[in-house]
Structure 1
Amino acid sequence: MTGILSLLRQPLTVALLLIVALLALGEALSPGFASPQQILRLLIVAALLGIVAAGQNLVILGGREGIDLSVGGIVSLSAIVAGNLMNGSDSGIALAIAGCIATGAFFGLVNGLGVTFLRIPPLVMTLGMLGVLQGLLVVIRQGIPSGRAAPSLSHFVTQPFLFGLPGIIWLWLGVGLLMAFLLHRTVFGHRIYAIGSNEQAAVMAGVPAARVRVMLFVLSGVFAAIAGICLLGYSGSSFANVGEQYMLPSIIAVVFGGTSLAGGKGGYAGTMAGAVMLVVLQSILTTVNIDESGRQMIFGATLLVLMLFYGRGRAMRA
């Protein structure tokens, strides 16, 4: 009995149970909600969020109240860069991927340098970067859509690729395996947990905390850029501020998955489950005709509840 109760207190278990409960609720509200085809569509959307949340997860694990609010802007900018570089042509996919990853890494590097060497709080630094990116998007786009996804990219994201699953789901599984290996099987991963738990002690033990922290923000930018490319393939074209919808949910997914906001504790498996849970919840809210503003209010309230839970329920953290 003790083992069962301990299992039920694990964030991953709670998330999985909530996913099942939400699917049952959705099916009751709208028959067919939990059909295999609909679940597959939900997983595609969850993969987009989950890839963004991978970088968010790393930044939060690194401690020092690390949160990257610029991920939405990087997703939007990357989608625009990718759309214009490939412009509907398969021959431009490689260049688009390289350009987007370089773009995400650059803005992540600027975030990391500002937080680490200028000692700007992550919340302030990344919020300021979000403002810069939003202004840059206005200058680049001027309110006019531009750029198109290559057919192969759209097919990879939305059509069966292997064993009946779209390529983006396999990509997300690959990200999950990469994160598990990075966090638990590499020196870099151990250093992330070390600086997140106690940065001063980690520095005294010889951990290059500054370099590790900068790298976390770079990786956050790269994951956001990858999500931007995939989002372009999902939607077919890019439009202004398309990535803003991922900023708040990416944080909620990480926190709900059991990663401590104080850093040093958590993992990506729970974040993946949290991403699925949020997408299912969003789909239910759409089913009952709650508009975007209402959904954002609910997501904000969810984050506040999680913050309260985080402060009072340490046993729930992985």
Structure 2
Amino acid sequence: MKISTNVVAEIAKTPLVVALGLIVALLVLGELLSPGFASLSQIMRLLIVASILGVVAAGQNLVILGGREGIDLSVGGVVSLSAVVAGNMMQGSDAGIIPAIIACLATGAFFGLLNGLGVTLLRIPPLIMTLGMLGVLQGLLVVVRNGIPSGLAAPGLAHFVTQPLMFGVPGMIWLWGAIGVLMAAMLKRTLFGYRVYAIGSNENAARMAGVPADLIRVCLFMFSGMFAAVAGFCILGYSGSSFSNVGAQYMLSSIIAVVLGGTSLSGGKGGYTGTMAGATLLVLLQSILTTLNIEEAGRQFAFGATLLVLMLFYGRGKALRG
């Protein structure tokens, strides 16, 4: 009985279980504050927003798992640029959907490649490299669009993102679920996934075992860029038009979602299932703050404070591992 109790206690303390418990608690709190908050239609709307954040966080998750204090601060810029590219390629026509998604993926992969090469070949710390790339992207967006909305989402894209596709569930949520399955399979069932955990846990040992650490790291940043590009493409379908700073909100929130889901900031430990729960929890928290009429400054303060607390907690974990 003692062993069973200890096992249950350990399971109850896992980040995924804690996140799921907090999700339920926030839904109950939201319903008490605003009747209808936990209705099925409202939950679907919240999940659409969470799925877009979750797609950005998928790439962030991979970069963080790869270790070496890997965090991609450029994801917000890639999201914004991809939304602008997609909108201007589609211009409200379904015929432009396929070319737009190809262009977005190429854009994300290109800037991810630049980040990866900067980190591996030039040995620039990931935080510095991706922060610099964010500045480049923001400058590019100012030059190209000057902050003016441009481009229109195709009706087919807007319908996919916001309207039920199967069993009353919008296509965006189905896409997020598919990404979750593919991420879990890649990380837990493939050689690439094993190598990601290896370089995140101990890069020197992984190199001695023959793992091409630099190549893996470049791939992780490219994946991060591509996931951010997909999110930018989907944001266009959700909002209908693109803005030059539409992705700014995802830089900090994607990191928090990953850490809330139990992925260690030191790398080599965690997974995407927890990140999906973290993204959902974060969107619920934001919705609760909005329900309480907390202004944007207050919400940003709450997110920043949450990240600091989580970083302190995982910083202890890193010290203990070291």
TM-score, length of structure 1 as denominator length? 0.98
Query: 1:159-238 to 2 correspondence within 5 Å?
Result: 159-238=163-242
Residues in 1 aligned to 2:16 and 2:46: alpha-carbon distance in whole angstroms? 19
3-state DSSP of counterpart to 1:144: coil
Residues in 1 aligned to 2:10 and 2:161: alpha-carbon distance in whole angstroms? 38
Number of residue pairs matched by the alignment: 315
Query: 1:238-277 to 2 correspondence within 5 Å?
Result: 238-277=242-281
Q: Paired residue for 1:11?
A: 15
Residues in 2 aligned to 1:298 and 1:226: alpha-carbon distance in whole angstroms? 27
Q: Paired residue for 1:28?
A: 32
Deviations 1:79-129 (A, max 9, x none): 000000011000000000000000000000000000011000000000000
Query: 1:30-179 to 2 correspondence within 5 Å?
Result: 30-179=34-183
Residues in 2 aligned to 1:312 and 1:203: alpha-carbon distance in whole angstroms? 26
Instruction: Name the amino acid aligned to 2:277.
Output: A
3-state DSSP of counterpart to 1:119: coil
Deviations 1:17-53 (A, max 9, x none): 0000111111111111111111110000000000000
Residues in 2 aligned to 1:139 and 1:222: alpha-carbon distance in whole angstroms? 23
Question: 5+ unaligned residues in a row in structure 2: which ranges?
Answer: none
Residues in 1 aligned to 2:146 and 2:127: alpha-carbon distance in whole angstroms? 28
Equivalent residues of 2:147, 2:245 under 8 A apart: no
Instruction: Name the amino acid aligned to 2:162.
Output: T
3-state DSSP of counterpart to 2:247: helix
Residues in 2 aligned to 1:138 and 1:185: alpha-carbon distance in whole angstroms? 42
Q: Percent identity?
A: 75
3-state DSSP of counterpart to 1:242: coil
Q: Paired residue for 2:296?
A: 292
Residues in 1 aligned to 2:155 and 2:134: alpha-carbon distance in whole angstroms? 30
Residues in 2 aligned to 1:298 and 1:144: alpha-carbon distance in whole angstroms? 29
Q: Provide the alpha-carbon RMSD of the alignment.
A: 1.0
Runs of 4 or more consecutive aligned structure 1 residues displaced over 2 Å after TM superposition: 311-314
Per the TM alignment, residue 312 of structure 1 is displaced from its structure 2 partner at its CA by: 3.7
Deviations 1:159-218 (A, max 9, x none): 000111000000000100110011011100000000000101100100000000000000
3-state DSSP of counterpart to 2:201: helix
Per the TM alignment, residue 285 of structure 1 is displaced from its structure 2 partner at its CA by: 0.5
Per the TM alignment, residue 240 of structure 1 is displaced from its structure 2 partner at its CA by: 1.6
Per the TM alignment, residue 143 of structure 1 is displaced from its structure 2 partner at its CA by: 2.5
Residues in 2 aligned to 1:233 and 1:167: alpha-carbon distance in whole angstroms? 11
Per the TM alignment, residue 3 of structure 1 is displaced from its structure 2 partner at its CA by: 1.8
3-state DSSP of counterpart to 2:264: coil
Per the TM alignment, residue 6 of structure 1 is displaced from its structure 2 partner at its CA by: 1.0
Residues in 1 aligned to 2:308 and 2:40: alpha-carbon distance in whole angstroms? 33
Residues in 1 aligned to 2:86 and 2:117: alpha-carbon distance in whole angstroms? 26
Question: 5+ unaligned residues in a row in structure 1: which ranges?
Answer: none
TM-score, length of structure 2 as denominator length? 0.96
Instruction: Name the amino acid aligned to 1:191.
Output: R
Residues in 2 aligned to 1:310 and 1:12: alpha-carbon distance in whole angstroms? 15
Equivalent residues of 2:83, 2:232 under 8 A apart: yes
3-state DSSP of counterpart to 2:235: helix
3-state DSSP of counterpart to 1:67: coil
Residues in 1 aligned to 2:317 and 2:140: alpha-carbon distance in whole angstroms? 41
Instruction: Name the amino acid aligned to 2:6.
Output: T
